[in-house]
Chain A
Amino acid sequence: MHYPLKRLLVFPLVMFGVSVFVFIAIRMVPGDAITAMLGTESGLLTPAQREALRAYFGLDQNWIIQFWHWLTGVVQGDLGLSTTFGKPVLRVILTHFPLTLELAILSMLIALGIGLPAGIFAAMRKDSAADLAVRVIVMIGQSTPNFVVGLLLIFVLSVGFGILPQMGTFVPFSEDPLRNLGQMILPALTLGTAFAAAVIRISRSAMLDILCEDYIRTARSKGIPRRRVIWCHALPNALIPVVTLSGVEFGYLLGGAVLVEQIFALPGLGRVVLDAILQRDYALVQGSVLFIAFNFMVINLLVDLAYAALDPRIRLDSN
């Protein structure tokens, strides 16, 4: 199997493209790093002090030289120094990423765990009352913004029933798994249910399409029990669009879910990137966008491998 290898060879090219783009894009944003960093105090700086600071962060050189310095660093695994955290960018990202990863995995498990069975169930009972109910729930789920669901969950469960622990200071999974999961369950539900609605919709319609295919008719003509027709003949075919959708969603989630992190006071990657942009923390923005792009490429590769595993018609090597 040369395919994954070939794709890995393309990674550096894409990363280079992304870094050029983000390097220019963040510098197109009006305002400069020094002013953003010091806020109102920046007015007190003498021009000489300002210049000294710019020189310290390497901002006085022209873009091409800045880019070259940054790029040579990246190749050696050094993403530069964050101006806001005063720490290496890579360490900042790696500190906040585990939470984001955990949140993404939990939300995907919830979304697929609810979405797939519900979608298949609705497709099998097309136009029944149950199907209609599922479709109404999907419509509500898809049209309700994340933060509304989150706030409702907090309100009903924590305040109303007192079932789930209040957030408090975030505890990593490695320190206290139970307490950590207790803190994560609400944000994961918030993200998961929203995505579950999309999964239901797509798996239902894919399943309905597949059930009209000639080969399902063939399977029925062979006297195969209804359950086996659904699970062994229809489902593998219907999974393909679900895998596509899940790959994209998972990629977004790994980039951080800013709103949900904000609501539940979670120190995830999303908030780090948001702060970095607001503070004109060039190195951190560049580093995290590169990191997110890398995640996306890994996920796309995994999605393609999943396609090939699901559908023998997809031959990765010839494409």
Chain B
Amino acid sequence: MTPLLSVRDLCVGFGARPEDNQVLHSVSFDLEAGETLAIVGESGSGKSVTAMAVNRLVDFGGGAILGGSINFVEADGTVSNLAEAEEAALECIRGRQIGMIFQEPMTSLNPVLTIGTQIEEIFRIHHGMSRSQARAAACHALECVRIPDAERRLTYAPHQLSGGMLQRVMIAIALAANPRLLIADEPTTALDVTIQAQIVGLLTEMQRETGTGLIFITHDIGLVAGFANRVLVMREGVAVEQGALDAVLDNPQHAYTRHLLKAVPQFSDGKSVRSDMKRDQADLQDRALAVDGLTVRFPVRAGLLRHQTGNVHAVEGISFDLYRGETLGIMGESGSGKSTAARAILDLVKPTRGEIHTARTVRDGATRPVQAVFQNPNASLNPRLTVVQLLAEPLIAMGHKIDRKAHHRMGSLLDRVGLPSNSLQRYPHEFSGGQRQRLCIARSLMLSPSILVLDEAVSSLDVSVQAHVLDLLVDLQREFGLAYLFVTHDMAVVEKIAHRIAVIYAGTIVEIGRAADVLATPKHSYTRQLISAVPSIHRRQCEFPVDTRDVPSLVRPLGWEPQLAPWVSSGDDHRFRAEVSGDVS
């Protein structure tokens, strides 16, 4: 039997002379109907180009197919070579027979058209339905992807829905015309881990029902372990290895696959936490940071005179302390208030209430005890400043002179974070993503702080780079006795670096304790939900439950004071908030 899709020796190039700028070299793979193929690779590996070559969207991005064939079995049984198809023929295949889901649901839907218009046009174009028929079909499509209140949501514009909801809308769009092949290009990368689990659950469920072939592109080899049948590993435009899921994961043949499997931070339910910190031996003088009852609220204004009608309760009564040489991992999903808490500690937003004490240990001229490293190194480094100027900024801000000693410190810090000593006169764009983040780390250490706030500091890096930066952070912590406040949504990363973990949900800490305790024996239902959603190469063919509950709104009327649930102690240094049955917070 001929496979649904058979790609042979596919070569793709970009630009005015595509032969000279070839990014895909002889990629071949097959996909049967109802089967899931995972294409795995790091950024720049050509995995997205491969996907977009299949439905020839690559043409619109300045790409050209240089050779090879893409044989696709159409609904009527004829086999067409999409590599040579005309644009008119492709318009009939795209959407109708090949659906596609993209990485960023927020930007992948047209902001000026309603959700309804964007789904209905598929039914009207591909099935010739009337306006009312299309509306009914669109409503049904939204119900299929479990969007509550579908009728009303059809009239919404994309910005009125959350990222997870929008990705469900994208799935509804991609599956609207019952395609025989679905291409999902990093569909969950921009989403939270619990939403990711739901989207994957939804995709696999829809696939079972419709028998669609699925190409799932991802950088996260652990994620596809849960549901893929076959895996294709790509590197620099070459398919280095492919085979059945278990064969590739358990018995990788190619060195790069082995490297990738090793580099991916594996979440192991708290078995591989750090053991280099004995908190009970530390005395109170080693305390670097104490936060007590931190509360941040943002006013909500309305009406003609812009009077305050309520508050966004972003952070509510957070308390914790942090010792020298210790890492506190702050876990939570987008909108949980974890970044707002970090910003309050950095003095970037004004707390409504609560106290933040930092120990002012003056070591070789330290004047600012808290420094920060942010998520996106590209955006955190001014592209017009050289490395010297970037590293001098914190000193200038503190009124220090840029003298020989300062230059000496720059040199030694660059050396320490693993950047070549000739970097000083270079600009940020001359460095790779990982190097730029090292640069940010060096900059944050210029004033010899005692505390570093790392806000998703490794989230935008490729897995192998991520592992190296985490190692560097651990080394620096040991060397300088730094205290880390590590804000992240990634369980595997937090397991690698944290001594203690605080889980934030809807603005409050719901569970806090030693990393091993929190990850191995989570007590709060939200922590359990987070942990069960983490993909891992050890979790094969698992079920991801589809849950349509919304995160509770944090907007409250004026004068509203939350009733925080009481703490329940669960052994030494491990507490969680008591729960009323059926209510997550």
Contacts and interface: CB of A to CB of B under 8 A. Distances in A.
Are A and B bound to each other? yes
Interface of A: 2, 6, 213-215, 217-226, 228, 232-233, 236-237, 310-313, 318
Interface string B64-106: 0000000000000000000000010011111110111010100
22 contacts: A215-B109, A215-B110, A217-B57, A218-B110, A218-B170, A220-B57, A221-B100, A222-B121, A222-B125, A223-B92, A224-B91, A224-B125, A232-B113, A233-B110, A236-B112, A236-B113, A311-B112, A312-B157, A313-B111, A313-B112, A313-B157, A318-B302
Contact of A221 (B57, B61, B104, B125): B57
A311 B111 contact: yes
10 A-B pairs with the lowest CB-CB distances in the bound complex, closest first: A223-B95, A223-B94, A312-B157, A222-B95, A221-B100, A214-B107, A215-B110, A214-B108, A236-B112, A218-B108
Nearest to A225: B91
Contacts of B104: 214
Contacts of B234: none
Most buried by A among B93, B112, B302: B112
Nearest to B97: A223
Contacts of A217: 57, 60-61, 102, 108
A214 B91 contact: no
Interface of A is mostly: helix
B108 A223 contact: no
B424 to A, nearest CB: 36
B111 to A, nearest CB: 6
Nearest to A221: B100
A306 to B, nearest CB: 12
A149 B438 CA distance: 59
Contact of B107 (A2, A213, A220): A213
Query: What's the interface size class on B, roughly?
Result: 35 or more
A151 B302 CA distance: 55
A221 B94 contact: yes
B122 interface: yes
B99 A218 contact: no
B126 A223 contact: yes
Contacts of A224: 91, 95, 121, 125
A151 to B, nearest CB: 43
A13 to B, nearest CB: 14
A239 B22 CA distance: 36
Contacts of A311: 111-112
A215 B108 contact: yes
B557 to A, nearest CB: 18
B159 interface: yes
Contacts of B60: 217, 220
B99 A221 contact: yes
A224 B94 CA distance: 8
Interface in B99-137: 99-100, 102, 104, 107-114, 121-122, 125-126
Nearest to B16: A127
A223 B181 CA distance: 14
A311 B114 CA distance: 10
A53 to B, nearest CB: 48
Contact of B113 (A220, A226, A233, A318): A233
A312 B112 CA distance: 6
Given A218-B102, A220-B94, A223-B92, A237 B157 contact: no
Given A6-B304, A215-B107, A223-B126, A310 B112 contact: yes
A13 B404 CA distance: 58
Most buried by B among A6, A218, A237: A218
B159 A313 contact: yes
A316 to B, nearest CB: 13
Interface string B149-180: 00000000101000000000010011001000
Most buried by A among B108, B109, B126: B108
Contacts of B100: 218, 221
B102 A225 contact: no
A215 B112 CA distance: 10
B462 to A, nearest CB: 21
B55 interface: yes
B173 to A, nearest CB: 6
Contacts of A214: 102, 104, 107-108
A219 B125 contact: no
B305 to A, nearest CB: 10
A313 B90 CA distance: 33
A221 B182 CA distance: 11
A245 to B, nearest CB: 18
A311 B94 CA distance: 27
